[in-house]
Amino acid sequence: MIEVRFHGRGGQGAVTSAELIAQAAIKQGLYAQAFPSFGPERRGAPVQAFLRVSDKPIRLRSKIYKPDHVIILDPTLLGTVNCADGLKPDGYIIINSHRSSDELKKLFPDHNIAAVDASTIAKEEMGVPITNTTMLGSLIKATSIVAIESLNEPIQNRFGKIAQKNVNAYTRAHKETKIIKKE
């Protein structure tokens, strides 16, 4: 089983991201669950979403405390939330960041990192700085949790007329993600 914790802010689509990957996994014949955890339910407040994907039925119903991977949609959370808390030693921190590889290694010296400037990609491809679907390309690049093509149908179902912009954004993020292995 692969467990992923998403960190974002209310309104950024962390919950939607987890749901889309779960739908893609189910489309591939896997088992999946996606669910949110909210603190104060307001736009801009820190939120978490959780994702489990497995080739066997999933019986767990708890939050994820020791994730295989962590996705950080909003890098401003780094000053307020310990996003890497509980991350397994070989897991990835998948982060929306324009920082250099050296800067990221200093921030997360004990972890593998997958970094992409999702904010820029989202603005250029979709016209808005909402990074949730963009970051899915980076997640897939780092983890191969699902095949990138399996996202197409869930994205189409969710976004309709603007689906192609989202497909362009996560496809570009997949290509532009930098993989930084821990030393």
What is the number of other CB atoms lying within 10 angstroms of the CB of residue 60? 12
Question: Full-prediction pTM beyond 0.85?
Answer: yes
Q: Are 129 and 107 in contact (CB under 8 A)?
A: no
The per-residue b/e assignment along 30-55, b for 16 or more CB within 10 angstroms, e otherwise, is bbbbbbbeeeeeeeeebbbbbbbbbe
Q: What is the pLDDT of residue 41?
A: 59
- Looking at residue 117, its pLDDT comes to 97
User: Which pLDDT value is given to residue 73?
Assistant: 96
Task: For 128-172, give the DSSP string.
Answer: S---HHHHHHHHHHHH-SS-GGGGHHHHHHHHGGGHHHHHHHHHH
Residue by residue, pLDDT tens for the chain (183 residues) are 999 999 998 888 899 999 999 999 999 999 999 998 865 556 777 889 999 999 999 999 899 999 999 999 999 999 888 999 999 999 999 999 999 999 999 999 999 999 999 999 999 999 998 999 999 999 999 999 999 999 999 999 999 999 999 999 999 999 999 999 988
List, in order of start, the domains of the chain with CATH numbers: 2-180 (3.40.920.10)
Contact 180, 141 (CB under 8 A): no
Q: What is the pLDDT of residue 118?
A: 97
Residue type, 86: G
Give the whole-angstrom CA distance, residue 134 versus residue 114.
13
